[in-house]
Amino acid sequence: MPTARSRTGAFGEHTARKHLEAQGYRVLEANYRCRWGEIDIVAQEDDTLVFVEVRTRRRLSYGTPQESLSKGKIARLTATAETYLQEREPGTADWRIDLVAVLLAADGAVSDLQHVTNAIEEGYFVSEA
The string of pLDDT tens digits covering residues 73-112 is 999 999 999 999 999 877 777 999 999 999 988 888 898 9
- With 0-12 CB in 10 A as exposed, 13-18 as middle and 19+ as buried, what is 121? exposed
Q: What is the pLDDT of residue 127?
A: 62
Q: Give Cα separations from 111 to 10, 12, 58, 117 (angstroms).
A: 16, 12, 10, 20
Task: Give me the amino acid identity at 52.
Answer: V
State the pTM of this model: 0.89
Domains in the chain (CATH in brackets) are 4-125 (3.40.1350.10)
Q: What is the pLDDT of residue 116?
A: 92
Q: d(Cα 57, Cα 1) in Å, to the nearest integer? A: 20
